């Protein structure tokens, strides 16, 4: 579905145009076309391939989706794939953005997401001096907006982790905390899979071997790289903290199990002593001492109760009960 298709000249918006009119503007001096599609159909992709002379392999990747974040060069065209993440309750929703950048065009195709880039377009149009840099600056602005949307995901991870850490030593809660920590670990892995591959390849967009379309905007791409490095460092710290918290909770589970075993052993010892005494006086012999004594029953119960009380007191002092 077409979101918008706009032609710019020297940093200023000229007009909204139809896809069929792209060829009338794309070769005009100082002009470039910015097209935004959402969940593009094969017909729309085929039309874009024809208008912008896009490589078939790149079009295939954009059509199929579920690509690893990457930056590839096809002649004078740069093809960028990024994950678009959104925090939803306790999960991270994954979308995808494919960006084609050429000398006189930018084509963005987003899929599986409700997020939009209207704010990016408005930002660029408010800065005509920067928009004069052309398609290279627009692709930076799109990448920067996507990376900026990773920060709320990181903040949510840190906040949830701090909440769990503050309750980690509450009695009988270790098992539920382990489940929550594994859920956090899964969310951090989703974020890491979006950031790490991109961090490895975004360096292609600045430096001595940067593509021609990115030459005038190298310092901006370097800023994106710095943001990715910051997020990656934070994610690594969160993952290390999660691993430590999981180990602590597993230790607490072991301690809780050990405490339960101690209590069971203490009560078993108390009942074993009582059972032994009852068994001795319950033997069926005629000549047993005190068998026919009128106070024998009370003495037996008192002895059993006293032994049980003494054992309970001793176990209580040792912290077993």
DSSP 191-224: HHHHHHHHHHHGGGGSSTT--GGGGGGHHHHHHH
Tell which residue, 183, 181, 191, 184, has the closest CA to residue 232. Answer: 191
Q: How far apart are CA 18 and CA 20, in angstroms?
A: 5
Residue 161 resides in a domain: no
Assess whether pLDDT exceeds 70 at residue 284: no
The number of angstroms, rounded, from the C-alpha of 223 to the middle of its chain's C-alpha atoms is 23
Nearest of 82, 209, 78 to residue 143 by alpha carbon: 82
pLDDT at 312: 76
Q: Would residue 116 count as lying in a domain?
A: yes
Q: Specify which residues 87 forms β-bridges with.
A: 92
Shared domain for 30 and 144, answered yes or no, is: yes
| In a domain? residue 145 | yes
Same domain, 289 and 203: no
CATH classification of the domain holding 152: 3.30.460.20
Give pTM, 2 decimals: 0.78
Residues 209 and 110 in one domain: yes
User: Whole-angstrom Cα distance, residue 106 to residue 52?
Assistant: 9
| 148, 285: one domain | no
Same domain for 195 and 123? yes
Read off the pLDDT of residues 85-104 as tens digits, 9 standing for 90 and up. Answer: 988 878 888 999 999 999 89
Q: Report percent pLDDT > 90 for the chain.
A: 34
Question: Does residue 127 sit in the same domain as residue 186?
Answer: yes
Verify that 73 and 86 share a domain, yes or no.
yes
Asked if 212 and 151 sit in the same domain, the reply is yes
**Out of 28-37, 45-54, 137-146, 204-213, least confident range:** 204-213
Mean pLDDT of the chain: 85
Q: For position 309, which CATH number holds?
A: 1.20.58.340
Instruction: Identify whether 164 is part of a domain.
Output: no
Which of the listed residues 237, 253, 269 is the one where a domain comes to its end? Answer: 253
State which residues form the domain around 242.
Answer: 2-156+172-253
Note whether 60 and 127 are same-domain residues: yes
Is there a domain that residue 162 lies in?
A: no
Clarify whether residues 136 and 201 are in a common domain: yes
Q: Which residues contact 47 (CB under 8 A, 6 or more apart)?
A: 19
Of the residues 228, 253, 278, the one at which a domain ends: 253
- For residue 34, give the 3-state DSSP assignment: strand
In angstroms, the CA 83 to CA 111 distance is 10
Residue 169 has pLDDT above 70, yes or no: yes
Instruction: Answer for the pair 84, 110: CB distance below 8 angstroms, yes or no.
Output: yes
Q: Is residue 12 part of a domain?
A: yes
Are 285 and 136 members of one domain?
no
Q: pLDDT, tens digit, for every residue of 64-81?
A: 888 889 999 998 899 999
Instruction: Provide the number of structural domains found in the chain.
Output: 2
Task: Please indicate, yes or no, whether residues 81 and 217 belong to a single structural domain of this protein.
Answer: yes
Residue 166 lies in a domain: no
Is 214 contained in some domain? Answer: yes
Q: Which two tokens stand for residue 166?
A: 């503050």
| pLDDT of res. 92 | 87
Residues 25-46: tens digit of each pLDDT: 888 888 899 999 999 889 999 9
DSSP at 68 = P
From 253, 273, 290, the end of a domain falls on: 253
């Amino acid at each position: 579905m077409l979101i918008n298709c706009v032609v710019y000249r020297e940093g200023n918006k000229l007009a909204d145009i139809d896809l069929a009119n792209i060829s009338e503007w794309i070769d005009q001096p100082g002009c470039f076309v910015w097209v935004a599609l959402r969940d593009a159909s094969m017909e729309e992709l085929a039309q874009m391939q024809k208008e912008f002379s896009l490589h078939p392999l790149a079009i295939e990747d954009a059509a199929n989706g579920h690509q690893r974040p990457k930056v590839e060069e096809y002649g004078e065209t740069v093809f960028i794939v990024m994950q678009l993440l959104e925090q939803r309750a306790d999960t991270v929703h994954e979308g995808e953005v494919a960006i084609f950048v050429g000398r006189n065009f930018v084509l963005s195709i987003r899929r599986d997401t409700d997020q939009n880039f209207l704010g990016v377009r408005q930002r660029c149009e408010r800065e005509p001096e920067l928009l004069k840099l052309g398609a290279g600056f627009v692709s930076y602005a799109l990448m920067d907006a996507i990376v900026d949307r990773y920060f709320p995901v990181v903040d949510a991870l840190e906040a949830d982790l701090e909440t769990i850490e503050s309750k980690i030593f509450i009695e009988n809660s270790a098992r539920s905390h382990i489940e929550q920590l594994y859920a956090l670990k899964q969310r951090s892995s989703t974020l890491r899979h979006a950031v790490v591959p991109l961090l490895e390849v975004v360096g292609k967009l600045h430096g001595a071997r940067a593509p021609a379309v990115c030459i005038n905007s190298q310092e901006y791409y370097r800023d994106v790289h710095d943001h990715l490095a910051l997020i990656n460092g934070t994610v690594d710290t969160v993952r290390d903290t999660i691993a430590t918290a999981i180990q602590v909770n597993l230790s607490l589970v072991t301690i809780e199990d050990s405490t339960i075993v101690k209590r069971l052993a203490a009560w078993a010892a108390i009942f074993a002593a009582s059972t032994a005494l009852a068994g001795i006086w319950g033997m069926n012999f005629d000549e047993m001492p005190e068998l026919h004594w009128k106070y024998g029953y009370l003495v037996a119960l008192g002895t059993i109760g006293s032994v049980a009380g003494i054992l309970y007191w001793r176990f209580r002092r040792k912290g077993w009960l």
